[in-house]
Amino acid sequence: MSGAQLQSASPALTIQGSQKNVGSVAVATAAESKPKKKICCACPDTKRLRDECIVEHGESACTKWIEAHRLCLRAEGFNV
């Protein structure tokens, strides 16, 4: 009887082990798809130029810097 118990226990252990591996693979894939930086810390140069321009001249006069910052953020992997 002990042989039958071992055989029935083995597939259960294999399934549990497979489920753990699948979960860690899914986590690794999700981590790789995310940008590595926070959006507040990405593209500090274009952000500074954009913000200074908006303060001094208003948003409508700074579309060039706003678009430059958006392009930089997209290049870093953000969807903006």
Q: Report the binding-site residues for Cu cation.
A: 40-41
Annotated binding site: 40-41
Using CB atoms within 10 A of its CB, is residue 56 exposed (0-12), middle (13-18) or buried (19+)?
exposed
